[in-house]
Amino acid sequence: MNGQGYLLLRRAGGLFGVASAAVTGLSRQGDSYRVEVARLEVAPLLADEVVGVVPSLEVRPLSAAVRRYWPEPAGGWAVHRGEPVVVVDPDRPPRALAEGESADGE
């Protein structure tokens, strides 16, 4: 899935965007999707739903106000069809996308 754009994933009620260039594999794993990223030290990401691929997002850095409510690492944030998107830093993905996290975030 190399190339331009962002793979949009839904997990634990949130919407996440992963740069398509960082995605090396995508497969179904039971009720979830397993997303392989190009970083060797990062475990595969899990998603409840693959929303699709968008050609671009207007990514903004996280402001101090947003960081109060989103303390996890992120590559920034964007809006897609009126919904906020957490843009994933492939070196430090959020815990919500980690294997072992439940679909409801616990």
What single-letter amino acid sits at 29? Q
* Measured distance CA(61)–CA(104) in Å, rounded: 26
Better pLDDT: 1 or 36? 36
pLDDT digits (tens, 9 = 90+) for 23-57: 999 999 899 999 999 875 778 999 999 999 999 99
Percent of the chain with pLDDT over 90: 63
Q: What is the mean pLDDT of residues 60-81?
A: 91
Better pLDDT: 17 or 42? 17
Domain positions in the chain:
6-97
**What single-letter DSSP state applies at residue 22?**
G
pLDDT at res. 104: 45
